[in-house]
A and B are shown apart, each in its own frame.
Chain A
């Protein structure tokens, strides 16, 4: 199965700053990668699919890039509601797998 490694584990930033989250796959997943945001006590929410496509209703400050084994989620200017845990998921190979998550916390 494909292993996804997310870094850093924790990102401490202030509102208004730029956040850059990384997801690396153990083998190529082409562009078949999704990003999710999860807040405490809530279900994950789809942000990005197919590496760079924003899901319906997702603000433009969220962007995804990459292909093959290296992917990035960028939040251009952090809003207070963006402090959460972010997961990547590969959808190229069965079984679908998730990374371990990056927590974006307020500095």
Chain B
């Protein structure tokens, strides 16, 4: 079945970096894109960015542009995100979600499915 499985929980100190993986199965990886989102405790989801697994094109939310990178590895059907210079307010559950393969189609689709989430805790 269509599934996204994310890597496990992380505990990081302020200033460190974190890398989260999202392994896809059940569908042709390169025919889709992926969004990364996060959800702080008690808050709604926040969209961080999108990447096409076919072209490598990316769109980043302005809040994250300087310290956030998304990549994909088509050989392992895995999407990755890296967030650098972590702060305490980066503590959140981070999600990947399957999207359309081209940005100009994103308005007509939905994020489906989502990975199970990865808790990233930033604490000294």
B55 interface hit (Cβ, 8 Å): no
Please give me the residue from chain B that is nearest to A41 by CB atom.
B117
CB neighbours of B44 from chain A (8 A): 87, 98-101
Interface size class of A (residues with CB under 8 A): 20 to 34
A61 interface hit (Cβ, 8 Å): no
B12-66, CB < 8 A from A: 35, 44-47, 50, 59, 61-62
CB distance from A1 to the nearest CB of B (A): 8
| A97–B46 CA distance with the chains assembled, in angstroms | 7
Task: Point out residues on A near B: beta carbons under 8 Å.
Answer: 30, 32, 34, 36, 43-46, 48-50, 55-56, 87, 89, 91-92, 94-101
18 CB-based A-B contacts, threshold 8 Å: A34-B110, A43-B113, A43-B114, A43-B115, A43-B116, A43-B117, A44-B45, A46-B113, A49-B112, A50-B107, A50-B109, A50-B110, A55-B110, A87-B44, A91-B107, A98-B45, A98-B47, A99-B44
